């Protein structure tokens, strides 16, 4: 699921336990965390000058 809100809504409608809605929320947090860390890491790389 790309959208954590949609994933949590579908999980609570399809399953009886509300705990299953935690998984999409944790996945979204993980995606945001890794994206932020990669952006910070890549910002330290020197820019490449592409000349043709």
Q: pLDDT, tens digit, for every residue of 16-43? A: 877 787 877 788 788 889 999 999 998 8
Q: State the pLDDT at residue 34.
A: 93
Confidence of residue 14 (pLDDT cuts 50, 70, 90): confident
31 three-state secondary structure: helix
Q: State the pLDDT at residue 40.
A: 93
Confidence of residue 50 (pLDDT cuts 50, 70, 90): low
Task: In whole angstroms, give the CA distance from residue 25 to residue 12.
Answer: 12
Global pTM? 0.57
Q: State the pLDDT at residue 33.
A: 92
């Amino acid at each position: 699921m790309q959208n954590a809100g949609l994933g949590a809504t579908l999980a609570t409608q399809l399953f009886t336990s509300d705990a299953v809605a935690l998984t999409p929320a944790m996945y979204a947090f993980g995606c945001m965390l890794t994206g932020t860390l990669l952006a910070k890491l890549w910002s330290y790389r020197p820019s490449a000058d592409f000349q043709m």
